[in-house]
Every structure is written in structure tokens, then in C-alpha cells.
């Protein structure tokens, strides 16, 4: 595997809410995505999910609070916790989660990406 330049990989992503696989380790995917607007409320029954903001600002809406993340900050959503990512403006994120994790968690809808493309 070669080194990964996050800015280069993220520049290749044109659509929002469609994660791409940038690497794998120990059954985990390192996924990159661009987000804008509101996602759906969902949870992951068996997986924790790490959101690391590379550029922009992200709001992670939880049932009891909103976590604000800026560049260089991350938050781990524990398994089973309902959450909704919200990006008022474009935000670039790195996600670390098991390879089997569906981006929409317990839901299947038009935003579901079952097998993310590699970038």
C-alpha cells in the first residue's frame, strides 16, 4: 500500500453522503466522505463509528445533545446510539468503522451505500 493523501483523495469525491474506502486495517475501513445538509437519524446496533473532521464543521445530533466538531476533532458514536450528522456547509470527514458497517445503520433507504467504492 502507498501513502494516502487525504486532500487528494477527497478532491476525487463529487457527491455528498457517499463514503469511499481509502484503506483497510484489521477488518476496519478507513472511509472518506463529503457531507452537506442533514442525514437521517439512525444507529449501528453492533458497531462504534468514529467521525474525524478533516475540513469544515460537523454537527453530530444525538438524542440528548449536539456535538460540534471542527477540523482535527473527532467523536466516537457508541454502538446503539441514535445519531444524525448535519453539515450546514460542506464538510470532509474520515470515518473509521468495521468493514460491514452500513452508512445508514439500521435503515435502508435511497442514501444507503451497501458496498462503498474504493478511492
What's the pLDDT score for residue 104?
63
Half-sphere exposure of 18 (CA within 13 A, CB side): 9
Average pLDDT over residues 43-59: 95
What's the pLDDT score for residue 2?
84
What's the pLDDT score for residue 99?
86
Question: Domains of the chain, with CATH numbers?
Answer: 6-98 (2.60.120.10)
What's the pLDDT score for residue 57?
98
Q: CA torsion angle for 70, 71, 76, 77 (degrees, to 10)?
A: 50
Burial class (CB in 10 A: 0-12, 13-18, 19+), 36: middle
pLDDT tens digits along 62-117: 999 999 999 999 999 999 999 999 999 999 999 998 888 776 666 566 666 667 77
The model's pTM is: 0.89
Q: CA torsion angle for 77, 97, 118, 92 (degrees, to 10)?
A: 30
Residue 26 pLDDT more than 80? yes
Cα separation, 5 vs 12, in Å, equals: 11
What's the pLDDT score for residue 117?
76
Residue 35 pLDDT more than 80? yes
Cα–chain-centroid distance for residue 101?
Answer: 11
Amino acid at each position: 500500500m502507498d501513502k494516502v493523501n487525504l486532500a487528494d483523495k477527497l478532491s476525487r469525491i463529487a457527491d455528498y453522503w457517499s463514503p469511499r474506502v481509502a484503506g483497510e486495517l484489521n477488518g476496519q475501513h478507513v472511509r472518506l466522505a463529503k457531507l452537506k445538509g442533514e442525514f437521517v437519524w439512525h444507529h449501528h446496533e453492533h458497531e462504534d463509528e468514529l467521525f474525524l473532521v478533516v475540513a469544515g464543521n460537523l454537527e453530530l445530533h444525538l438524542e440528548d445533545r449536539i456535538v460540534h466538531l471542527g477540523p482535527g476533532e473527532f467523536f466516537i458514536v457508541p454502538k446503539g446510539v441514535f445519531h444524525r450528522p448535519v453539515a450546514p456547509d460542506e464538510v470532509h470527514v474520515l470515518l473509521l468503522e468495521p468493514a460491514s458497517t452500513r452508512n445508514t445503520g439500521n435503515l435502508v433507504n435511497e442514501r444507503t451505500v451497501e458496498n462503498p467504492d474504493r478511492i
